[in-house]
Structure 1
């Protein structure tokens, strides 16, 4: 499990985001790293019980590096102010739509997943599926448990109706999405609680039908 130490380290890192401070506090980072890896291993074990393509995935392949890629960024801070992990077959670089866990102090931690950076053809397929069979997606994301848990939708939308669709289409609001990423946020007290891993596993189970829907649509497969 994560402890207050890990959240405090991330808070301190945000205030001292430079290599000198990081190296001076390397032991604190190593403790945070171990705590997060242990948490992710517990989550991975639990999710693999109902997501079979995760069975042979190693936890280290799921965890994002804390170093930022600053080559093309105006922000030259060398480190991320959060911990992240992507749970997909083979790890975070599966290329599929995976479960994403984000740990950040000040109640900014969350579990999320969904359509985030689709190709043009994937977005076209998504919209076509909504046009032809909207009840499938709506049956997943409008289900009471899903709506209650994943009550935040992140994603860019077009201002006008996508080309080829009527302005009075009954599912105009869904068709406008270019991204459709669902999020459930956790408080800091939830993150450091003993049952946090179980809570995240339960959240993944709720999210799974939507990720299966998108993966089947984009890649012709689901677990």
Structure 2
């Protein structure tokens, strides 16, 4: 579980997103960062029971940097307002399906799948969905998946049919997706209770079949 002090730090950071304030509060950041890494270690110890591919990971391998790359952004705030955790067989530097935990006051969510695959991976995933539609729909239309996530995110989607597929393809709406991710929102308090790790891990376990399908698609 996390302490409320971690959320308090992020709240204060969002109001004082500048280097001077951050340097004065560097100790608070280090404490919060360590706490998040310890929490992720706890998650990993439970996740390895159903996904052995993450067996060698540590929390520090999964935590994204809090420093923003502002070179090509209109937003020049130097720091992120969240702790982002990416869990995959190679930690945070993944080019494939993964698990994701977003820790931000009022914006906590647990997610997974494959966000914005490269062109070759996207082509392979669409082909796998086309060839094995029933297997894919069995995952995303299961009662537990719908209860946890509702449906796949449609945040990234083509307006027209992708190249190589007719516009009247029976699964054209699925094939229009440019990302294949599912997410579940949580109250901040879900991470500050004794059962926090069980709550997050249960959601990650629901993502596992989706990640397996996507990984198989890009591994052929």
Query: TM-score when scaled to structure 1?
Result: 0.93
Whole-Å separation in 2 of the counterparts to 1:185 and 1:200: 11
Runs of 4 or more above 3 Å deviation: none
1:13-37 per-residue CA deviation (whole Å, 9 max, x = no partner) reads: 0010001101111222122112211
SS in 1 for 2:112: strand
2:66 is aligned with 1:66: yes
Q: Which runs of 5+ in 1 are unaligned?
A: none
Could you tell me whether the CA contact under 8 Å between 1:155 and 1:180 is conserved in 2? no
Q: Which residue is 2:113 aligned to?
A: 114
C-alpha displacement at 1:116, in angstroms? 1.3
Aligned residues: 219
Could you tell me whether the CA contact under 8 Å between 1:118 and 1:179 is conserved in 2? yes
Q: Which residue is 2:160 aligned to?
A: 160
C-alpha displacement at 1:154, in angstroms? 4.6
* 1:46–1:133 CA distance, 2 compared to 1 (3 A): same
Which range moves more in the overlay, 122-131 or 11-20?
A: 122-131
Q: Which residue is 2:202 aligned to?
A: 202
SS in 1 for 2:86: strand
Which range moves more in the overlay, 57-66 or 203-212?
A: 57-66
1:85-132 per-residue CA deviation (whole Å, 9 max, x = no partner) reads: 1111231114331111110101x1111111212122222222222222
Query: TM-score when scaled to structure 2?
Result: 0.94
1:129-183 per-residue CA deviation (whole Å, 9 max, x = no partner) reads: 2222210110101100011101251531111122332222211210111112110
Could you tell me whether the CA contact under 8 Å between 1:114 and 1:180 is conserved in 2? yes
Could you tell me whether the CA contact under 8 Å between 1:58 and 1:90 is conserved in 2? no
CA RMSD in angstroms comes to: 1.4
C-alpha displacement at 1:2, in angstroms? 0.8
* 1:124–1:96 CA distance, 2 compared to 1 (3 A): closer
SS in 2 for 1:28: helix
1:179-214 per-residue CA deviation (whole Å, 9 max, x = no partner) reads: 121101111111212111111111111110100110
2:148 is aligned with 1:132: no
Which range moves more in the overlay, 39-48 or 164-173?
A: 164-173
Q: Which runs of 5+ in 2 are unaligned?
A: none
Q: Which residue is 2:148 aligned to?
A: 149
Written as runs of structure 1 = structure 2, the 5 A alignment for 1:1-223 is 1-106=1-106, 108-151=107-150, 153-220=153-220
